[in-house]
Amino acid sequence: MFRPVEMCKVNILVLSKHVTAMTRILGQRGLVHLVDAVNQSRGKLLSNVNQDKDERTVDRLLERCDRLIEALGVESDARAPQLENMDLKDMEALLGKIHERFKVQDDTLNKLISDSGSLSLESTLLAGYPLQKVRLEALRNLSHFYMITGRIAPSVLPSASMVMGERALLLPAEGKDGNVLVLSSRKNRWAVEEELRKFGFTAIEAPPEVSGSAAEERQHVEDELQKLHRQLEECRLSVLKLGEEYGGVLLAMRTQLRGLKAVHSAQKHFGRVSHLYCISGWTPKDQVEKVRQIVEENTDGAGVVEVIEAGNDVLVQAGLETVPVQFKGAAWLRPFRMLVTNFAIPRYNELDPTLFVGLSFVVLFGFMFGDFGQGAVLALIGLWLHYSKRRLPEMLRDVGFLLTTCGISAAVFGLLYGSCFGYENHEIFPPLWLSPLAEKDIRKLLLVAVGVGIVFTSVAIIINIINRYMARHYFESVFDRFGVLGLLFYWLALGIGISVALTGQVSAWQLVVLALPLVLLFVGKPVQLLLQHYRRHGAHKSDADDEHGEEHGSLLEVVLESCIELMETFTGYISGTVSFVRVGAFAISHAALCLAIYSIVNMLKELPMGGALSLLVIIFGNVLVIAFEGMVAMIQGVRLEYYELFSKYFSGGGVLYSPFQIGDGAAEAAEKDNKGEKKA
């Protein structure tokens, strides 16, 4: 719970004929967090693996496969059937075959759609032609008359007829759509057209190839359209049948191509020399034997596995590589881990702060948002989110659990404060501890908030001391403002401060005792520099003058740095402790806001409909307080965690354990392993 999963580095050596299968099975099992194998080799004996050409081929085939899946109407999210692995040449040939069959249907479909569009346009034009039953060939053969058909607004038709007079005859068609036939002599043709344009006339030309009536031709076009629609349906069915025939194959091929792409991406981390490949990565210590077994089974016993403990790895010791971190612990800690990982990832050799963060955050939230009723509402909302049968994201369910714990904490503090939905009546609901709005309790509330901050700060410093010790930074675990001496100064300052507050006197020996850890902190850095110098040069004293000058210069810098750190130690502890006063202050502001709501309620009671209005104010006021004050308490809790506590013990800089995985194989394998372990 307090330490991450113990890790080991594995260096796997396999022959080139086994490397692809080995990569695929490692990806399916999801056990190895890959690192660059070339950097692991002593003397840079290994060279990089170049898969750029194959990657380009896979990307091209994957794109073709995706296009065909979409074009054939195959359900993209459907589960792909299990098929034997195909090589790239076979995949390319099969994709080409499917594409050719689809192209025939697609070309036919496009032609039918184009023809259908043309006929639909022709049908529309014919439907708008004014003289539906007159043979168009006869109208075209008129020698003495000029005829034009079109559309004009019915409202201006009388005016247009009056203006034309004897020059032209305007014959409206049946209906009120504005279709008209215009007859005039050929010599008046241009003048008539000019006048018609002034009235917004739009000409409608009959198709030149039509000789019969517009109605007959339109019926013929509609018959042709019906035939085309039937052919379109048949063509679409053919495409769907093609999708049914090859859909499963395409989905399986896409899965294999994605897996192959992941394999090529993983192999960029590999190293090679001649026909030998090296796979390097990190795996949990309890999974090492599984890795050995996988290598042995998939290389016919020819593979070699080298296992190195994390603490014994040369690159880790030199600070050139970071051991990945896999958290362990109960599932209920995962929601609180979000608070940690959103800030940074802990290092491998650090304590997992999730439990401390979870407990401290919940306590701080409850302290600031203490109300039994409002806390219960938050808890119920959180329970609904966490256990809802709806398909909610896992993160939202974790947020629900976080709300539940914070709501329970707020409800407990609400009992201590004697507050339920912002209503405080000490005769009906007496506080078990104190009331944030009682004048006699405010000072006590603020002091307790500071006391809570002192406890959390002390725990944070103790965690930092343990982290430094685990990282073998023994000197820093003592001579650091957040080390043993810093904690000793903090506790001494608190003790002496309390003594002075109670007695009103301060003695010389108290100041001497308080100054002692500060003096040790001041000399710590110079002593560390001297020790480092002694380790580098030993007992030899023949250094050049310029080197002495550099040492004196660096020593002066360290002295100045020590002075600054002393000031930061003093001011940092004061500001960090006083910062927790805000916890009590927000508890008071929360109670004051609720008091304001009930003050409004008391004023509304005297008005007509005062009861209903008061109830609405109570309901919406509590909703506002839960939303606004809940958000404020969350923000302040996160701020105190990140800026007042994390700064004392949490450096971050870690890397999450992210094993190489292909598809769902890793999850299925892990599930089988877990079932096997439970049975065992």
Residue type, 141: N
Q: Alpha-carbon distance 501 to 302, whole Å?
A: 76
Together in a domain, 308 and 339:
no
Together in a domain, 544 and 608:
yes
Tell me whether residue 129 is exposed, middle or buried, using C-beta atoms within 10 angstroms of its C-beta: 0 to 12, 13 to 18, 19 or more.
buried
CATH of the domain at 176: 3.30.70.2750
**Taking Cα atoms as reference points, which of 365, 340, 370, 375 lies closest to residue 355?**
340
* 3-state class (DSSP) for residue 242: helix
Task: Please tell me the predicted confidence (pLDDT) of residue 504.
Answer: 82
Together in a domain, 349 and 374:
yes
Task: Please tell me the predicted confidence (pLDDT) of residue 208.
Answer: 61
Q: Are strands 276-284 and 33-35 parallel, antiparallel or unpaired?
A: antiparallel
Cβ–Cβ contacts within 10 Å for residue 528, how many? 14
| Contacts with 148 (C-beta within 8 Å, 6 or more apart), sequence order | 181, 182, 192, 193, 196, 203
CA angle 418–420–426, rounded 5-degree value: 35
Task: Please tell me the predicted confidence (pLDDT) of residue 419.
Answer: 93
Q: Alpha-carbon distance 334 to 404, whole Å?
A: 14
| Contacts with 400 (C-beta within 8 Å, 6 or more apart), sequence order | 381, 382, 383, 384, 385, 386, 387, 388
Together in a domain, 312 and 343:
no
Residue 44 belongs to some domain of the structure: no
Task: Please tell me the predicted confidence (pLDDT) of residue 541.
Answer: 47
Alpha-helix runs per DSSP H in 46-153: 52-71, 88-127, 136-140
* 3-state class (DSSP) for residue 249: helix
Q: Alpha-carbon distance 192 to 409, whole Å?
A: 90
Q: Which pair of structure tokens corresponds to residue 592?
A: 């004051």
Q: Which residues pair with 183 in a beta bridge?
A: 147, 169
Give the position of tokens 């999850």: 667
Q: Alpha-carbon distance 680 to 672, whole Å?
A: 12
Tell me whether residue 459 is exposed, middle or buried, using C-beta atoms within 10 angstroms of its C-beta: 0 to 12, 13 to 18, 19 or more.
middle
Together in a domain, 558 and 665:
no
Q: Alpha-carbon distance 123 to 496, whole Å?
A: 100
Residue 69 belongs to some domain of the structure: no
Whether the Cβ atoms of residue 575 and residue 447 lie closer than 8 Å to each other = no
HSE-up of residue 119 (Cα within 13 Å, Cβ side): 19
Q: Alpha-carbon distance 161 to 148, whole Å?
A: 15
The answer to whether the Cα torsion of 231, 234, 240, 242 is positive or negative is negative
Together in a domain, 292 and 359:
no
Task: Please tell me the predicted confidence (pLDDT) of residue 207.
Answer: 62
The alpha carbons of the chain give a radius of gyration, in whole angstroms, of 42
Task: Please tell me the predicted confidence (pLDDT) of residue 545.
Answer: 45
DSSP secondary structure of 194-231: HHHHHTT-EE-PPPTT--SBHHHHHHHHHHHHHHHHHH
Q: Alpha-carbon distance 425 to 595, whole Å?
A: 11
Q: Alpha-carbon distance 617 to 592, whole Å?
A: 16
Three-state SS across 323-375?
A: CEECCCCCHHHHHHHHHHHCCCCCCCCCCCCHHHHHHHHHHHHHHHCCCHHHH
Q: Alpha-carbon distance 645 to 361, whole Å?
A: 11
Q: Alpha-carbon distance 367 to 409, whole Å?
A: 8
Residue 254 belongs to some domain of the structure: no
Q: Alpha-carbon distance 284 to 324, whole Å?
A: 10
Q: Alpha-carbon distance 177 to 167, whole Å?
A: 24
Together in a domain, 173 and 316:
no
Together in a domain, 199 and 290:
no
Residue 310 belongs to some domain of the structure: yes
Q: Alpha-carbon distance 430 to 411, whole Å?
A: 14
**Taking Cα atoms as reference points, which of 125, 99, 75, 114 lies closest to residue 232?**
114
Residue 45 belongs to some domain of the structure: no
The per-residue pLDDT for range 189-246, each reduced to its tens digit, is 788 888 888 888 877 766 665 555 667 777 777 888 888 888 888 888 888 888 888 8
Single residue among 177, 205, 233 that ends a domain in this structure: 205
**Taking Cα atoms as reference points, which of 582, 568, 558, 563 lies closest to residue 648?**
568
At residue 277, φ and ψ (nearest 5 deg) are: -115, 145
Q: Are strands 324-325 and 655-656 parallel, antiparallel or unpaired?
A: parallel
Task: Please tell me the predicted confidence (pLDDT) of residue 25.
Answer: 92
Single residue among 152, 183, 205 that ends a domain in this structure: 205
Whether the Cβ atoms of residue 386 and residue 407 lie closer than 8 Å to each other = no
Residue 527 belongs to some domain of the structure: yes
Name the pTM for this structure: 0.75
Q: Which residues pair with 148 in a beta bridge?
A: 182
Residue 119 belongs to some domain of the structure: no
Count up the domains in the chain and report the number: 3
Task: Please tell me the predicted confidence (pLDDT) of residue 211.
Answer: 54
Residue 599 belongs to some domain of the structure: yes
Together in a domain, 301 and 287:
yes
Together in a domain, 667 and 649:
no
Q: Which domain holds residue 584?
A: 331-656
HSE-up of residue 558 (Cα within 13 Å, Cβ side): 16
Together in a domain, 136 and 284:
no
Walk along the chain (680 residues) in steps of 10 and give the mean pLDDT of each run.
88 92 91 91 80 87 91 83 82 91 88 84 69 60 70 82 81 70 78 83 68 68 85 88 88 89 90 91 95 92 92 88 88 90 90 93 96 96 91 89 96 95 86 90 94 96 93 88 92 91 85 88 77 60 46 64 81 90 94 92 84 91 94 95 92 90 54 39
At residue 506, φ and ψ (nearest 5 deg) are: -135, 135
Residue type, 293: Q
Q: Which pair of structure tokens corresponds to residue 523?
A: 């000399």
Largest CA distance in the chain: 131
Give the position of tokens 């660059």: 36
The per-residue pLDDT for range 395-416, each reduced to its tens digit, is 899 999 999 999 999 999 999 9
Cβ–Cβ contacts within 10 Å for residue 64, how many? 19
Cβ–Cβ contacts within 10 Å for residue 328, how many? 13
Q: Which pair of structure tokens corresponds to residue 456?
A: 């959390």
Whether the Cβ atoms of residue 106 and residue 137 lie closer than 8 Å to each other = no
Single residue among 181, 205, 229 that ends a domain in this structure: 205
Whether the Cβ atoms of residue 135 and residue 149 lie closer than 8 Å to each other = no
Three-state SS across 502-523?
A: HHCCCCHHHHHHHHHHHHHHHH
**Taking Cα atoms as reference points, which of 333, 356, 328, 343 lies closest to residue 7?**
328
Whether the Cβ atoms of residue 149 and residue 129 lie closer than 8 Å to each other = yes
CATH of the domain at 665: 3.30.70.240
Together in a domain, 502 and 648:
yes
Q: Which pair of structure tokens corresponds to residue 509?
A: 């020996």
